[in-house]
Structure 1
Amino acid sequence: MRNKCLLFLAGAVLLVGLGELACRLFEQAYYRAVINPTGDIVNLTALNYNDTTVPRRKTPGEFRILEFGDSYVYGTVKTDYTPSSVAANLLGQAGAPTRLVNLSEPGTSFFQYRKAMRHWAGLIEADALVVGMFLGNDCVEVARHIVPDDLPVNGWLRENFVEITTGRKRLAAARHGHGLRLLDYAADAINIKATGEYVTMNIPEPHSGLYSPLPEERFMELTRLFAVAGEPAHSAELARGWQALADTGRDLARFGRERGMRVAVVLSPAEVAVNDRLWRKAALEAGIDPKSFDPTLPGRMAAAVLAKVAPDVAVLDLTPVFACAAARGDVLYPPREIHWNAAGNRLAGQALARFVGRTWLGLPGDAPVGADPCLDAAPLPAGPADMAACLAAAGPFAEPARP
């Protein structure tokens, strides 16, 4: 009897071991296949990007742009409402068929943008590369090591059990938590069978699962963080972040030279840069002088760094556009949410369409038709920060030696 029990136990252990091995091999093979597609179509939905599918080769007559960035480019709205989709629709209506491929990943920064550019530009044919920089946190997160440098391409997105834009559960991304992947897959298969294939998100349209209003205290904490790049006293502290932007600009410039691609950086402002009342409240709560913050400084610094190291990289700063719209009373950010609402995404999409149309496609100045008047807003008057001193404190921006 004892021998039979031992034999049964050994068999069970062997079966579990084989099942665990099979699950892990399947997982590795699946993601290796979807992130390194060899077929004609790249399924971006399967990788949890805020996009659909895209042919690896361009459609004849199409101008194609690969976009990289964090949650600001990814969007907290569904795919059809992102700046990428808005811009593509407007350019198409203007007679310039354009496909913007949204390859952005929430919770990332410059190191991941560069990895993603190298990966996807080798797999998806395109005419241009655009990197979206969120002026509120990209430099700060790199300088303070808030975002790990070594995150893999698509790493965070592929791990999500729930598809961000639809709420669909993804068994291929079973949650970790039981020690064995076999148990993880079994538990989530049971979950899907018992509770349905979708989660209830209760999120206002057209937002997605990334939309998340914050508790007041956390929102004000992030507001304070997003002001750091606009405070001259922090320029030296942020040197690592500005260097990471410089290296990103150099990568873009190389793509432009070596592959004949158009390249650009789009600068997106935090609400604190266009909403003076919000900044005064944050400064009061933090016990600091409201005059310590120059809302124009993050955009001016980014443009100056890129002009210094990669002058061929075009720059679109959305700060004047959003400041103009905010001044006339537009609500562009939801309450206690750090990302744009639908109106903010639409305005950013219009600005992107105008920029692409004028800079790269030769469209007339009034195209697309019906554009928001704030797209023609003049650059904001430079704030009090001494740009030369801030650049000197954050530099030098010498290119690092190659291994």
Structure 2
Amino acid sequence: MRASRFLTPRRERLARILALAAWWGLVAHFAREVVRTRDANGDHLTATVVLAYLAAWCPVLALSRWSPAGKLGRFAACTASIAAGFAVVEAPAALGRIDYREVFHTPTPPWKRSGNLADPDLLFARKPAQRLTLRFQGSDLHGLRDAPATTYACDTTLDARGFRNPAGLDSAEVVLVGDSFVEGLQVADGDLVSARLAERIDAPVANLGRTGYGPRQELAVLERYAAGFGPRACVWFFYEGNDLQDLEAYEADRDRVRALRPESFKRAWYARSFARNAAGWLMRPGSRNGVPARERAGRLADATPVYFSCGVHEGSPDAVARRARPEALAKLRAVFDEAAAACRARGMDLTVAFVPAKFRVYRDLCRFDAASPCPAWPVDDLPGIVGGVARDAGVDFLDLTPTLKAAAKAGPLVYLPDDTHWSAEGHRVAAAAVAGRIGDRGRRDGRLTSAASRPPTGSTARRR
């Protein structure tokens, strides 16, 4: 009797509300603690949200005065509504029309990305004759906060081999081999180093560059594709920022690719799914926790800011002293030996062109903030070291560093201010340096006599 007097309808409603609030508060607290753990990832967040949703219903089902059928009906209706919403956004992923890994920029091995195919030697190849439409921000801004961001767009169509060439280019005087500097997704087709070189030498040039490739993959490209163009010369662009790292990682990555098995529909769909990739995006640290942009920015004489995510090595500055260790150079020498032999067998001249990191080119042209670590980043003599390895293998060597430094000092930016890659001007400067070297060799050897011997005609790809 006393209990019924104490537990009035109003107090009973208040008790239910407090119980619900306390329970939901506990659920939210534990969910937050789970996703804040150091090794939590998107899958943990997805599982936590599902469990939290079910847990949130527990007091509702336990304390409500609905009939059992009413409780089940309300739970089913709410759950079905949420599931229907997810079905709408997940259907394109299930059908393979949208890959949410690209939408949310989920870190993914290149051989598993949409538009690529796994390859036992190249690790991955691009699907042929596809249209690439990409939008991205400069890589030097990753991990920085308060930096103005520029969005770069690339809209290009690949050739029948999956490279960035005009349709129908079946023969070329020169082939270019390399990584993202040669593929040049940051610039338009007409601004590529291959297009600029074709204008300079008034002869067709084939672009066999591919983003993410290292020396071993580039050697495979040379052996598999270069001879088909019937070229007289091959120019191999070696990027100091990560090519030695790529060379070290190649064998392990090759083993992973060769061990791949066809994925089930369920596994492939989940990899592309909205839920997985949105959760992963939410779990990634945001720019609010990043390094202040001013600490990684150098200012040129005209106050233009140039951002640096790394020095001459894409990784810890401490690794610069160790990157040219003997075992790494021995692997590089083996690659150059094989490339030289392949070119000799096909009657091609081979030149290795050294691509310096942006920091090597701009360090002495920039003023840095007092709190910036950039001035203390070490700079080694990798151009001289790689040049020695190339010459020991009997390969011609062209260091692009002096040319790019001179152009950077004299005029427009040769690297993008917020990215590690060349600007359109950088592609033009590199093409001019390569054309000069090809012209010198052509006059000396009696080959490629058109190179740099007459003014450019504006043709980007004359077909033979």
Matched, 1:328 2:425: no
Q: Identity of aligned pairs, percent?
A: 22
Matched, 1:105 2:204: no
Assess if the C-alpha contact under 8 Å between 1:73 and 1:104 holds in 2: yes
Structure 2 Cα separation of the partners of residues 276 and 356 of structure 1 = 29
Structure 1 Cα separation of the partners of residues 430 and 345 of structure 2 = 29
Partner of 2:388: 304
Assess if the C-alpha contact under 8 Å between 1:358 and 1:364 holds in 2: no
How far has the Cα of 1:249 moved from its partner?
1.3
Partner of 1:4: none
Partner of 1:191: none
Structure 2 Cα separation of the partners of residues 283 and 87 of structure 1 = 41
Residues 339-378 of structure 1 mapped to structure 2, 5 A cutoff: 339-360=421-442, 361=447, 363=449, 367=453, 369=455
Show CA shifts across 1:270-297 (max 9, x none): 111111257884996448845x424xx1
Matched, 1:50 2:164: yes
Partner of 2:80: none
Residues 261-300 of structure 1 mapped to structure 2, 5 A cutoff: 261-277=348-364, 281=368, 285-286=372-373, 289=376, 292-294=378-380, 297-300=381-384
Matched, 1:242 2:329: yes
Give the TM-score taking structure 1 as reference length.
0.55
Structure 1 Cα separation of the partners of residues 320 and 166 of structure 2 = 43
Show CA shifts across 1:208-251 (max 9, x none): xxxxxx9948964433635989x997246644442332122112
Partner of 1:86: 196
SS at match of 1:50: coil
Assess if the C-alpha contact under 8 Å between 1:140 and 1:228 holds in 2: no
- Supply the RMSD in Å over aligned alpha carbons: 4.4
More strand by share: 2
Question: Compared with structure 1, are the counterparts of its residues 300 and 280 closer, same or farther at alpha carbon in structure 2 (3 Å cutoff)?
Answer: farther
How far has the Cα of 1:52 moved from its partner?
2.2
Matched, 1:119 2:224: yes
Assess if the C-alpha contact under 8 Å between 1:111 and 1:244 holds in 2: no
Show CA shifts across 1:9-38 (max 9, x none): xxxxxxxxxx99xxxxxx9xx999x9999x
Structure 2 Cα separation of the partners of residues 252 and 215 of structure 1 = 44
Assess if the C-alpha contact under 8 Å between 1:139 and 1:240 holds in 2: no
Structure 2 Cα separation of the partners of residues 283 and 301 of structure 1 = 32
The amino acid of 1:117's aligned partner reads L
Assess if the C-alpha contact under 8 Å between 2:176 and 2:206 holds in 1: yes
Question: Compared with structure 1, are the counterparts of its residues 337 and 221 closer, same or farther at alpha carbon in structure 2 (3 Å cutoff)?
Answer: closer
Matched, 1:338 2:420: yes
Structure 2 unpaired stretches of 5+:
1-94, 97-113, 120-124, 129-156, 258-262, 275-290, 297-306, 457-464
Structure 2 Cα separation of the partners of residues 352 and 53 of structure 1 = 24
Structure 2 Cα separation of the partners of residues 137 and 35 of structure 1 = 21
Structure 2 Cα separation of the partners of residues 280 and 293 of structure 1 = 17
Assess if the C-alpha contact under 8 Å between 2:241 and 2:313 holds in 1: yes
How far has the Cα of 1:87 moved from its partner?
0.7
Task: Pick one of 62, 65, 86 that aligns with 2:174.
Answer: 65
Show CA shifts across 1:185-230 (max 9, x none): 9x99xxxxxxxxxxxxxxxxxxxxxxxxx9948964433635989x
Task: Pick one of 205, 225, 243 that aligns with 1:138.
Answer: 243
Residues 143-182 of structure 1 mapped to structure 2, 5 A cutoff: 143=248, 145=249, 150=253, 179=266
The amino acid of 1:71's aligned partner reads S
Give the TM-score taking structure 2 as reference length.
0.49
Partner of 2:105: none
How far has the Cα of 1:348 moved from its partner?
1.0
The amino acid of 2:384's aligned partner reads R
Structure 2 Cα separation of the partners of residues 253 and 123 of structure 1 = 17
Question: Compared with structure 1, are the counterparts of its residues 70 and 182 closer, same or farther at alpha carbon in structure 2 (3 Å cutoff)?
Answer: same
Partner of 1:254: 341
How far has the Cα of 1:347 moved from its partner?
0.9
Show CA shifts across 1:120-160 (max 9, x none): 135443322221111222123434x3x665459xx9xxxxx
Structure 2 Cα separation of the partners of residues 249 and 338 of structure 1 = 25
Show CA shifts across 1:98-120 (max 9, x none): 22111111011111111111211
Assess if the C-alpha contact under 8 Å between 2:240 and 2:312 holds in 1: no
How far has the Cα of 1:81 moved from its partner?
1.0
Assess if the C-alpha contact under 8 Å between 1:65 and 1:99 holds in 2: yes
Question: Compared with structure 1, are the counterparts of its residues 224 and 305 closer, same or farther at alpha carbon in structure 2 (3 Å cutoff)?
Answer: closer
Show CA shifts across 1:25-65 (max 9, x none): xx9xx999x9999xxxxx94355422223454x4xxxx522
How far has the Cα of 1:357 moved from its partner?
2.1
Partner of 1:170: none
Question: Compared with structure 1, are the counterparts of its residues 110 and 366 closer, same or farther at alpha carbon in structure 2 (3 Å cutoff)?
Answer: closer
Assess if the C-alpha contact under 8 Å between 2:200 and 2:432 holds in 1: yes
SS at match of 1:102: strand
Structure 1 unpaired stretches of 5+:
1-18, 21-26, 38-42, 93-97, 156-175, 189-213, 371-403
Assess if the C-alpha contact under 8 Å between 2:179 and 2:210 holds in 1: yes
Question: Compared with structure 1, are the counterparts of its residues 356 and 107 closer, same or farther at alpha carbon in structure 2 (3 Å cutoff)?
Answer: same
Question: Compared with structure 1, are the counterparts of its residues 183 and 328 closer, same or farther at alpha carbon in structure 2 (3 Å cutoff)?
Answer: closer
